[in-house]
A and B are shown apart, each in its own frame.
Chain A
């Protein structure tokens, strides 16, 4: 944990490029998906991320140890061993309104609604105690002023 930054959940992908290249690349996790961001900070691509399809990896050369997700540039879900149970497997059809996609979108809405707290307990305590310190300093100043005879 950094002092001025908060940790973001990330996932390391063994990414399969369209031209045959491979790359171990780290992406930020949004909801249930490992997401790629463009230069402006907007999400550009997402890949579905299930813990069942993560392969442990102990690190190699400069690539750090992590749980590895296999990802493919053409499809948002890719697995080489048939690991995922059929109920979690994405549909084969190219449909945005499929129940699978709707469920993922709905879970994301529920998640952001719960987590979007504008003010945390730490911030509330900071404001209260900061106000108390300010009042205390004013009282101190007044007391010194009075003790010296006005």
Chain B
């Protein structure tokens, strides 16, 4: 008996993992990449149709779980550069209290107290409640950001009534199986690399496809700016809607007119100063 030398030795206790083409097709049916009829045809060709029934495709009859809409999480920004001067101001106001009680006519101490308490309180309040203008979002469509997201998935679903695609979300996801042809792209926002995939959902299947860019230059954006912005009319393009100050100015002026009128009557009337 001649022993096969080239054959690698199998370790004890380790089962050999072999996936037959039928098993691959079964997985494809479950994943939605192939139909049940494909599997039936393959089984029939092998003569296994009677012995091994096809894997049933899971039918989703239950309603989709309601997505809990969470508010975007805002990070409370405690500004110590406001709080510390605020506390110092309040302390200054407290120091001025004995001077007031020593001399009730010490209006300078009263002014210091009022200014210090009001200003310090305002600084402490805004220091605790102030929120940065740039709000950081830690959620990812209601899910917590894990840092394992490796794909930007672009979703659209087919509306059966109008037979049109309706985009419904872009999401960062963690994808286990990357479709063939997908490559990593650098995202300049965080300098990490992601796949960019497109979710193609039809009535029969649901699968991910890599986004491919068209290899053409039909109408470059450099030329499109001319009709889009009408460059000769740049003076008109600079028109902007009125600011809040412009909107408030008439009301402020009206109040000033009333105030000046009252002062005028008070000063001109015989009883006035």
B228 contacts A32, C-beta separation under 8 Å: yes
Q: Which residues from chain A contact B186 at a C-beta distance below 8 Å?
A: 20-22
**Does A149 belong to the interface (CB within 8 Å)?**
no
Distance between Cα atoms of A23 and B225 in the complex (Å): 21
Shortest A47–chain B CB gap in Å is 6
Can you list, as one digit per residue, whether each of A99-134 has a CB less than 8 Å from chain B (1) or not (0)? Answer: 001101100110011011100101101100110110
Q: Confirm or deny: B182 has a beta carbon within 8 angstroms of a beta carbon on chain A.
A: no
| Complex: A59 Cα to B71 Cα, angstroms | 11
B66 interfacial contact with A, CB 8 Å: no
Q: Which residues of A contact B267 (CB under 8 A)?
A: 140, 144
Q: Is the C-beta of A1 less than 8 angstroms from some C-beta in chain B?
A: yes
Q: Is the interface of A mostly helix, strand, loop or mixed?
A: mixed
The range of chain A's interface size is 35 or more
In the complex formed, the residue of B with least CB distance to A80 is B198
Residues of A close to B219: CB separation below 8 A: 75-77, 90-91, 94
A62 and B212 alpha carbons, distance in the complex (Å): 26
Nearest B residue (CB) for A72: B213
Residues of B within 8 A of A70 (CB): 154
Contact pick for B230, options A112, A129, A132, A137, CB 8 Å: A112
> Is B253 in contact with chain A by the CB < 8 A criterion?
yes
Cα-based distance from A122 to B236 in the complex (angstroms): 19
Tell me whether B36 is interfacial, beta carbon within 8 Å: no
Set of chain B residues within 8 Å of A43, measured between Cβ atoms: 225, 228-229, 231
Number of residues of chain B lying within 8 A (CB) of chain A = 80
Question: What are 9 A-B contacts defined by CB distance under 8 Å?
Answer: A6-B242, A17-B188, A22-B194, A33-B224, A43-B231, A64-B134, A76-B224, A83-B166, A126-B250
A interface with B by C-beta (< 8 Å): 1-8, 14, 16-17, 20-24, 30-33, 35-36, 42-48, 53-65, 68, 70, 72-78, 80-83, 85, 90-94, 96, 101-102, 104-105, 108-109, 112-113, 115-117, 120, 122-123, 125-126, 129-130, 132-133, 136-137, 139-140, 143-144, 147
**7 closest Cβ contacts across the A-B interface?**
A59-B137, A105-B227, A33-B228, A46-B228, A45-B221, A129-B253, A76-B224
Instruction: List B residues at the A interface (Cβ < 8 Å).
Output: 72, 134-142, 145, 149, 152, 154-156, 164-172, 183, 185-190, 194, 196, 198, 200, 211, 213-214, 216-231, 233-234, 236-237, 239-247, 249-250, 253-254, 256-257, 260-261, 263-264, 267-268
What would 13 more interface pairs be, CB under 8 Å, given A4-B245, A22-B185? A6-B240, A16-B213, A20-B186, A21-B188, A46-B225, A56-B169, A61-B137, A63-B137, A72-B213, A75-B217, A81-B165, A132-B257, A140-B264
